[in-house]
C-alpha cells in the first residue's frame, strides 16, 4: 500500500482526517484513495491504530472497508467485537487483539466513480446517531470531490504538455460552458465532470473537451 504522493504544504491531507475527528464522537480516522490509474494510496490517519486497521484490511483483502467499497454504502458496526464476522474472519480475529469496539466505514464516491474510503473507529461500543450520520455523509461527500479533484489533476499531468496550445485551452473552456448548460451545473462542477470522464476513460481533458465541442459526446443526468 503506497502513501499519498503530494507534499504536506498546509497539511491538507492531515486536515482530511481531522475534520471527521473534530465533528464526530470517534477515536481515530483513516482515509485511503484508489482509482483506475492510481494504486491504493493512504491519504492520512490520525493515529497508529487507525493506520493499522486500514493496513490490516488492505493486506488481508477483507474487512468492513471492502464491504463499503463493494456496496458503495456505509458499513456501521457499533458492537464490532460482540459477534463473529464470517465474511472477514481473519480481520475479525485481529480486532480481538485491539481495544476497538466500534467501526464506521464510509465509501467516497462521486457519481459512478469510486474515489476511496474513510474508516472511523471508537473505543466505546456505541453507534452514530442520525444527526452524526448526516454529518459523516456530508463530510464524506465533500472529501470525495476534493480528493477526486486532486487525483484527476495528477492523472491529467501524466498525459504531458507537448500538445498544449491556446486552442486546446479554448476548447476546454468552451466544453465546460456546454456541459454547464447540459447539466445545469456551476463552471467548477462542469469542469469536474469533464475531468472525471477523462479519468474514467483514460483520456486527456483536451480530448474529452474536443468531443464535447464537436457534439460527439453529450453529458446527461
Percentage with pLDDT > 70 across the chain: 84
Average pLDDT estimate for 103-121: 93
Residue-wise pLDDT for 168-204, tens only, equals 467 888 898 899 999 988 888 888 888 888 878 878 7
Question: 0.75 exceeded by the pTM?
Answer: no
What residues contact 144, with CB distance under 8 A and at least 6 apart?
A: 108, 109, 110, 115, 116
Q: Parse the chain into domains and list their residue ranges.
A: 2-156, 164-213
Mean pLDDT of the chain: 84
CATH code of domain 164-213: 1.10.10
- Rounded CA-CA distance 189/179 in Å is 9
Instruction: Provide the pLDDT confidence category of residue 157 given band limits of 50, 70 and 90.
Output: low
Residue-wise pLDDT for 34-70, tens only, equals 765 556 778 899 999 999 999 888 878 899 999 999 9
Q: Which cell numbers in the block locate residue 117? A: 474510503
What fold characterizes domain 2-156?
Beta-Lactamase (3.30.450)
Amino acid at each position: 500500500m503506497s502513501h499519498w504522493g503530494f507534499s504536506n504544504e498546509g497539511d491538507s491531507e492531515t486536515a482530511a482526517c481531522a475534520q471527521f475527528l473534530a465533528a464526530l464522537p470517534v477515536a481515530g480516522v483513516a482515509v485511503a484513495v484508489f482509482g483506475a490509474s492510481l494504486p491504493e494510496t493512504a491519504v492520512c490517519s490520525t493515529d497508529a491504530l487507525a493506520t493499522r486497521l486500514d493496513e490490516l484490511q488492505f493486506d488481508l483483502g477483507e474487512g468492513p472497508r471492502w464491504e463499503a467499497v463493494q456496496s458503495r454504502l456505509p458499513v456501521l458496526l457499533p458492537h464490532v467485537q460482540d459477534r463473529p464476522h464470517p465474511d472477514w474472519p481473519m480481520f475479525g480475529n485481529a480486532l480481538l487483539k485491539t481495544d476497538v469496539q466500534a467501526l464506521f466505514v464510509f465509501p467516497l464516491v462521486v457519481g459512478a466513480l469510486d474515489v476511496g474510503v474513510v474508516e472511523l473507529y471508537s473505543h466505546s461500543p456505541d453507534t452514530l446517531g442520525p444527526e452524526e450520520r448526516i454529518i459523516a455523509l456530508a463530510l464524506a461527500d465533500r472529501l470525495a470531490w476534493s480528493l477526486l479533484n486532486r487525483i484527476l489533476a495528477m492523472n491529467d499531468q501524466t498525459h504531458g504538455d507537448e500538445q498544449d496550445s491556446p486552442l486546446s485551452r479554448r476548447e476546454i473552456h468552451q466544453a465546460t460552458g456546454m456541459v454547464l448548460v447540459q447539466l445545469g451545473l456551476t463552471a467548477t462542477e462542469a469542469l469536474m465532470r469533464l475531468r472525471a470522464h477523462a479519468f474514467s476513460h483514460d483520456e486527456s481533458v483536451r480530448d474529452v473537451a474536443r468531443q464535447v465541442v464537436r457534439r460527439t459526446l453529450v453529458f446527461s443526468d
